[in-house]
Amino acid sequence: MTVERDVMEYDVVVVGAGPAGLSAACRLKQKAAEAGTEINVCVVEKGSEVGAHILSGAVFEPRALDELFPDWKAKGAPLNVPVVRDDIYFFTSETAAVKTPNLFVPKTMHNEGNYIISAGNLCRWLAAQAEELGVEIYPGFAAQEAIVDEQNVVRGIVVGDLGINREGEHKDDYTPGMELRAKYTLFAEGCRGHLGKRLIAQYDLASEADPQHYAIGVKEIWEIPADKHVPGLVVHGAGWPLNSENPGGSFLYHFENNQILVGLIVDLAYSNPYLSPFDEFQRFKHHPVIKQYLDGGKRLAYGARAIVKGGINSLPKLVFPGGALVGDDAGMLNFAKIKGNHTAMKSGMLAAEAIAEKLAAGSEGGDVLDNYPAMFKDSWLYDELYRARNFGPAMHKFGTLVGAGLNYIDQNWFGGKAPWTLHDRVPDHTTLKLAADSQKIDYPKPDGKLSFDKLSSVFLSSTNHEEDQPVHLQLKDPSVPIAKNLPMYDEPAQRYCPAGVYEVVGDGDAKRFQINAQNCVHCKTCDIKDPAQNINWVAPEGGGGPNYANM
């Protein structure tokens, strides 16, 4: 069945209203204004509003924002809480911890001059700036596919078919989507973008890079008693409840309004299939160092999102005919700092400058934006990512302690320019041990005060999906979960999914793999960690997914 779709033409279409996409859109308009020309820019966002799907820490480095809007303060950007102190702990057991003396903290973990922010609110503000500059932003519309013509050139995207039922048939209210065609299309979908993933494969963009690496971050917002709240205090941690084979780290930021932003980041190269990042986080909150702040407080919000952490060694080629990858869709995050907001913004700005340059030279689009990688190479962004290149691999190769030592030497003695480059060529979905060779983990029961169960947590993400639509978590082979993953790894999806989407139900031969797609919070972990790479995350109907506030 061919579908007639309306078509709109733009100079630039941006997929995703995160820091990367919005910065790109703003920069394009600024460049056009400087040159006294018009560049029309459209941004689509799968969240029901800008910010609804944004989840970050976040300690924010304002470097890129300073460049994009030097007058951000006057314009009311939501950077209200400067970092006042950095505490770093190594958790040695469930009750003990050592505070790292300042002297031994790698430079990259110092946060003077940075702010504790809600990245979602930063995006809401950036969207307002973009609209003021004339950018059209359409939240509630997911880019479903890239339009690729016979010459293998990306010509735009298809958005928003609505009203298709679970079986894939048109319902009464079926509404065909639209083609948004563009001279250049920027993909800014964030970590593990589903179109980005396809484009990387289709154009073989990652052939010269190390495999990409990921982590999952589980985060909550708490309101705590005022007398325990130290606005601007940053607390990072490593160690318990994780370990060298299942590494990760934690954060706890004292934000505004007596709020605390607390989370656990679990490396997706973990090896024990019984591990559940959600439950690790729940028990982590009982550690005395963390509990001291949360006791007597109230949990306000919950969410989870994957983090791209391969850095420069894993960076794919950034461009293909007619478009480019920016932000975490490309993998621009600096994992030595666990910061990707400023790098996402900068990469978006660079791509925008590259496009503006092409358009000013009279380009009709559809060509390769080769000036973008060149500008990237010359930028502080490249320099920053280059300096951080050994961080992740050192942790994977030598474990948290020795890895941290090496990183200390690399960052503080060599400024990140140590004469070695470590590589990590083992993809995260291959690191699981067999269930038979692994130790089961007995997670403590949630106490309903500091720790909670999955369902009541997912409830706080305010996630929702129209029920009667095709399941957006596609199994390439529906038999794999029960026939292979279950006997081999006790189907780890039951545990790595932070929203309880995957369940194995029934007994004996009647065992069945159930997908509760409405619960999905769009973290992308299943797409990354499934050992058989059998789960394909695709965009659901626009507007579906979490409704995060202040995340």
Partner 1 sequence: MKALVSVKRVVDYNVRVQVKSDGSGVVTDGVKHSMNPFDEIAMEEAVRLKEKGKVTEIVAVTIGGAKNEETLRTALAFGADRAIHVKEEGEVQPLTAAKALAAVLKKEDAKLFICGKQAIDDDANQTGQMVAALLDIAQATFASKVEIEGDKAKVTREVDAGLETIEVDLPAVVTTDLRLNEPRYLKLPDIMKAKKKPIDATSFGDLGVTPGAGFKVTKTTPPPTRSKGVMVKTVDELVSALKGKGLL
Write the DSSP assignment of 433-499 as a string of letters: PPGGGS----PPPP-SSS---HHHHHHHTT-B--SSS--SEEESSTTHIIIIIHHHHS-THHHH-TT
Q: Which residues have a Cβ under 8 Å from the Cβ of 503 and sit 6 or more positions away?
A: 494, 513, 514, 516
Angle formed at CA 330 by CA 387 and CA 460, multiple of 5 degrees: 105
Q: What number of chain residues touch ligand SF4 (CB under 6 A)?
A: 13
CB 378 within 8 A of CB 354: no
Q: Is 8 in the site for partner 1 (CB under 8 A)?
A: yes
* 3-state DSSP assignment of residue 164: strand
Question: Is the CB of 191 or the CB of 234 nearer to ligand SF4?
Answer: 191
Closest approach of partner 1 to the CB of residue 284, in Å? 23
Residue (287 or 524) nearer to ligand SF4, CB? 524
How far from each other are the two terminal CA atoms of the chain, in whole angstroms?
41
Q: How far is the CB of 154 from ligand SF4 (least distance, A)?
A: 25
- Print the binding letters for residues 140-179 with partner 1: x by CB under 8 A, - otherwise: xx-----------------xx-xx---------x-x-xx-
Q: Does 58 bind ligand FAD (CB under 6 A)?
A: yes
Site residues for ligand SF4, 433-492, by CB under 6 A, read: 473
56 binds ligand FAD (CB under 6 A): yes
Give φ, ψ of 385 to 5 degrees. Answer: -70, -35
Q: Considering the rule CB under 6 A, would residue 197 count as an interface residue with ligand SF4?
A: no
Q: Is 388 in the site for ligand FAD (CB under 6 A)?
A: no
Q: Name residues contacting ligand FAD, limited to 365-384 (CB under 6 A).
A: none
The piece of 149-157, 274-282, 329-337, 497-505 that touches ligand SF4 (CB under 6 A) is 497-505
Phi and psi at residue 320, to the nearest 5°: -150, 170
Helix (H, G, I), strand (E, B) or coil at 10: strand
Element (DSSP H or E) covering residue 324: strand 323-325
In degrees rounded to 5, what are phi and psi of residue 515?
-115, 110
Q: CB-based contacts of 132: which residues, under 8 Å, 6+ apart?
A: none
For the CB of residue 542, give the shortest distance to partner 1 in the complex, in Å: 9
Answer yes or no whether residue 340 interacts with ligand FAD by CB under 6 A. Answer: yes
Q: How many CB atoms lie within 10 A of CB 395?
A: 28
Tokens describing residue 513: 């793999």
State the binding string over 243-282 for partner 1 (x if CB under 8 A, else -).
Answer: ---------------x------------------------
Among 81, 289, 330, 497, the residue binding ligand SF4 under the rule CB under 6 A is 497
Give the integer Cα–Cα distance in Å for 225 and 242.
29
Residue type, 82: P
Asked if 507 touches partner 1 (CB under 8 A), the answer is: no
Build a one-symbol-per-residue string for 294-333: x at contacts with ligand FAD by CB under 6 A, - elsewhere.
-----------x-x-------------------xxx---x
For partner 1, which is the closer residue by CB, 7 or 201?
Answer: 7
Q: Which does 142 bind (CB under 5 to 8 A by kind): ligand FAD, ligand SF4, partner 1, none?
A: ligand FAD
**Which residues, 505 to 544, sit near ligand SF4 by CB under 6 A?**
520-526, 537
Q: 339: left (phi > 0), else alpha (psi -120 to 50), else beta?
A: beta
The alpha carbon of 27 is separated from its chain's Cα centroid by a whole number of angstroms, namely: 22
| Total length of the chain | 551
Residue 129 binding ligand SF4, by CB under 6 A: no
Residues at the site binding partner 1, with contacts judged by CB under 8 A: 6, 8, 48-49, 51-52, 118, 120-121, 124, 136, 138, 140-141, 159-160, 162-163, 173, 175, 177-178, 223, 258, 298, 300, 448, 459-460, 462-464, 547, 549-550
Residues at the site binding ligand SF4, with contacts judged by CB under 6 A: 473, 497-499, 501, 520-526, 537
